[in-house]
Structure 1
Amino acid sequence: MTLHPLPTPPDTADTHDEWNLRARGETPTQRLDRNYGELLQEVRVAQTGVQFLLAFLLALAFTPRFADITEFQRGTYVASLIMGAAATALLIAPAPFHRLVFQRRLKRKLVRATGWFTLAGLGFLMLALGSSMLLILDVVLGTRSAVWISGGILAWFLTWWFAVPLWNRHRFGHRPSLPAQPDSR
């Protein structure tokens, strides 16, 4: 029985490309196309949520009871609206970025930028959801309860959207896959 040393974890695009070619039979261009497609699928999921949230927030200002909200509620509303708009801009940003760099051989830059747009957009979406919950809970339960519950909701989002994936990335992301068993993604 011959033991083969495990490969070192890839640290650069070139070593990722080498690994993908060996393990998946995928060229660097095919890898970028696949990565971009996967990112767009992620963005589509988030865009639906942010569009519903922003529509709710935009309509809220035109309800009869809106004139009676407190200064705290008005500030929370404005913060929610701005963060929802920021999330929308970032989650839509891959489309105009792609259009403006189309056929310029900038796919690697497009994939990297789309990844950052998506992460930042999800961060703003999380904050917009948290502040929207704060606004609604303040109206329904009062400020003290609203702050505690909204803080819990933000912690919940932080846990599942960022902490758990980052923990898995840290814990398992640097372990090399066996050459015969590439990542199943």
Structure 2
Amino acid sequence: MAPEPEGPGGAAPPPAEPRRGRDESAEERADRMWADLLQELRVAQTGVQILFGVLFIAVFQPAFTDLGDTDRALYVTAVVLGAASAGSLIGPVSLHRMVAGRRIKPQTVVLAARMARTGLLLLAVTTVLTLLMLLRVALDDTLAAWLAGAVGVWLFTLWFVLPLWARRHYTNRE
């Protein structure tokens, strides 16, 4: 039987820590994370398409001409932010096309994930503004603001607070 290798100072080496996570190279991890991100973007883009479609249709309705300045400002802001959200959520596809084959997939995944987070934030704001605009037509302005604000808090909690909490809470646990 071969003697055990000695660590520094002649002591036995510390026991190897068990591996956590997947056994994959940086490139394999980037490929997996890219595939995950694309699936997430497909879900988010469906929401953007539906919301953006509602906004596009609204301007062609006869009642649109009766909107006041505040509601028109809400509408314009929601449309502009909706377009920015769509751009942020579609941006990773363009990024990938422009850098494909350059051997920078890990960096591409990081940049694309940032675009996706930005797109989700813009989508949340667009959703709240659209809801506020619609509720102002149906309800008292104060109640509309409270309801839209509550939905905004709910979306922010689900889309940002809970994921950040989960990342912090579960990342360092065995």
- What TM-score range do you get, normalising by the shorter chain? 0.7 to 0.9
Asked if 1 retains the 8 angstrom alpha-carbon contact of 2:26 and 2:106, the reply is no
Matched, 1:44 2:42: yes
Q: 2: CA distance between counterparts of 1:69 and 1:6?
A: 65
2:23 is aligned to 25
Amino acid at match of 1:50: V
Q: How many equivalent residue pairs?
A: 161
1:132 is aligned to 130
Asked if 1 retains the 8 angstrom alpha-carbon contact of 2:79 and 2:126, the reply is yes
Offset at residue 27 of structure 1 (A): 1.7
Offset at residue 174 of structure 1 (A): 2.4
CA offsets per residue over residues 30-85 of structure 1, 9 Å max, x none? 11100000011000000000011111101111111100001111111111111111
Asked if 1 retains the 8 angstrom alpha-carbon contact of 2:132 and 2:148, the reply is yes
Over 6 Å off, 4+ runs:
none
| Percent identical | 37
Matched, 1:73 2:71: yes
Amino acid at match of 2:101: Q
1:16 is aligned to none
Q: 1: CA distance between counterparts of 2:170 and 2:16?
A: 18
2:11 is aligned to none
Amino acid at match of 1:100: M
Amino acid at match of 1:157: L
Matched, 1:108 2:106: yes
2:83 pairs with one of 66, 74, 85: 85
Q: 2: CA distance between counterparts of 1:117 and 1:147?
A: 29
- Cα RMSD, aligned residues only: 1.8
Amino acid at match of 2:144: A
Offset at residue 172 of structure 1 (A): 2.1
Offset at residue 142 of structure 1 (A): 2.4
2:117 pairs with one of 119, 143, 153: 119
2:96 is aligned to 98
Asked if 1 retains the 8 angstrom alpha-carbon contact of 2:44 and 2:120, the reply is yes
Amino acid at match of 1:147: A
Q: 2: CA distance between counterparts of 1:5 and 1:171?
A: 25
Aligned to 1:93, what secondary structure does the other structure show?
helix
Asked if 1 retains the 8 angstrom alpha-carbon contact of 2:30 and 2:105, the reply is yes
Q: 2: CA distance between counterparts of 1:23 and 1:141?
A: 51
Q: 2: CA distance between counterparts of 1:161 and 1:78?
A: 24
1:172 is aligned to 170
CA pair 23-67 structure 1, distance change in 2 beyond 3 A: closer
**Structure 2 gap ranges (5+):** 1-13
